[in-house]
Amino acid sequence: MPLLESEKDDAEQLTSGTMKAVVFRGPGQFQLEAKPVPKAGPGDAIIRVRLTTICGTDIHIIRGEYPVHSGLTIGHEAVGTIHELGAGVTGYKMGQRVLVGAITPCGQCEPCLGGHTSQCGGPIGGWRLGNTIDGVQAEYFRVPFAQANLAAIPDHLADEDVILLADIASTGFSAAESGKIRLGDTVAVFAQGPIGLCATLGARLMGASEIFAIDTDPNRLKMSAQFGATVTLSADRDPVKEIMDRTNGRGVDVAIEALGVQTTFENALRVLTPGGILSSVGVYSGHLSIPLEGFHAGLADQTIVTTLCPGGKERMRRLMRLVETKRMNLRPLLTHTFDLENILEAYKLFESRQQGVLKVAIRVK
């Protein structure tokens, strides 16, 4: 039987045994390189990538602000098809389309069984892909603990419908969830990048009444109104004073920090009402301190909570249900599309924040 075009590609890949991958070589040094196609060990799966994207965390990595080892393939958000299954992985079919979360917990260690799957094996331990093991900005990647981490994608959902659930939606929603937003709560979300926008959406889904969204970029503020913000505020115009004025000096029940810098953290603390929760999901890459006058001497019953993106197939399944039932649509966040061959251009655009870029879809053929 003659091979289909797509099967010919497969055959070539298998015989050549190499693939293209985005490899980190040191601060400011990363490029597309040829690497061997990974093999599945027991419990692993090899995924052939269809769609990936670039995360703000990848930018921290390429700048050398978040340490990873030289030679690592970066990227941690992917939709693909099952190419190989290791021993012990059951209930899946070859060629099946799956979403893999950015965080791939084992599901068996003490933190996992204690409910902190993102901290699998130790602090930040659940984040393996593109951090401690080769990531997904490649033609193929290896998923460890595949049984816990391959989420089958319903046929009628496109890759673009679900790709952003792998990280930014899961992270943004977790900011709202960790903030324990109650029906009618007033919420402020500091920074409206992709994660902040998803935090705003999460606050709306959880039943917040007023949602203040703060950013410097008017385009992002416009998008935040679409995602559920009731008031958009420019970060350049004293957002703390604005929020305190608009809440008659009360402040907000939940303040979400979605950038990872001193100013937004401080502002989040300064608008927090006594008993309120500061929910932080930004990735901090410098010194962070608590301003005394915003901290009420540590006596205001306030909570500061941090969360790393929840992963695992059950989290992905539930987030896909939100898309299936049309409770949300994340596609407006995918503002640009590139092929893997042109991913360095995509990095430039994403880093520049020009042309209204929010997230870039990277197609892998």
- Asked if residues 149 and 104 have their Cβ atoms less than 8 Å apart, the reply is yes
164 binds Zn ion per the rule CB under 5 A: no
Question: Of 43-51, 120-128, 241-249, 330-338, which segment contacts Zn ion by CB under 5 A?
Answer: 120-128
Minimum gap (Å) between residue 273 Cβ and Zn ion:
30
Minimum gap (Å) between residue 119 Cβ and Zn ion:
8
Structure-token pair, residue 295: 């901290």
DSSP characters over 296-330: GGG-S--EEEE-----SHHHHHHHHHHHHTTS---
DSSP characters over 155-208: TTS-HHHHGGGTTHHHHHHHHHHHTTPPTT--EEEE--SHHHHHHHHHHHHTT-
Minimum gap (Å) between residue 108 Cβ and Zn ion:
6
Max CA distance (Å), the chain: 76
Query: Could you identify the residue written with the tokens 């992905």?
Result: 316
Minimum gap (Å) between residue 183 Cβ and Zn ion:
30
The count of chain residues that interact with Zn ion, using the rule CB under 5 A, is: 8
Nearer to Zn ion, 57 or 137 (CB): 57
* Closest alpha carbon to 191 in 107, 269, 259: 259
SS3 338: strand
Minimum gap (Å) between residue 91 Cβ and Zn ion:
20
106 binds Zn ion per the rule CB under 5 A: yes
Of residues 170-229, those binding Zn ion (CB under 5 A): none
149 binds Zn ion per the rule CB under 5 A: no
112 binds Zn ion per the rule CB under 5 A: yes
CB atoms within 10 A of CB 86: 18
Nearer to Zn ion, 164 or 252 (CB): 164
235 binds Zn ion per the rule CB under 5 A: no
Tell me the per-residue interface mask from 66 to 105 with Zn ion, x by CB under 5 A, - otherwise.
---------------------------------------x
109 binds Zn ion per the rule CB under 5 A: yes
120 binds Zn ion per the rule CB under 5 A: yes
Nearer to Zn ion, 78 or 208 (CB): 78
Question: Of 53-61, 172-180, 187-195, 298-306, which segment contacts Zn ion by CB under 5 A?
Answer: 53-61
Strands 78-85 and 45-53: antiparallel
146 binds Zn ion per the rule CB under 5 A: no
Q: What is the distance between the alpha carbons of residues 47 and 32, in angstroms, rounded to a whole number?
A: 18
22 binds Zn ion per the rule CB under 5 A: no
Helices (H), the chain: 5-16, 56-62, 110-113, 146-149, 159-162, 168-178, 194-205, 218-226, 239-246, 262-270, 292-295, 313-324, 343-352
Nearer to Zn ion, 72 or 120 (CB): 120
* Closest alpha carbon to 256 in 174, 327, 165, 332: 174
55 binds Zn ion per the rule CB under 5 A: yes
Give residues in contact with Zn ion (CB under 5 A).
55, 57, 105-106, 109, 112, 120, 167
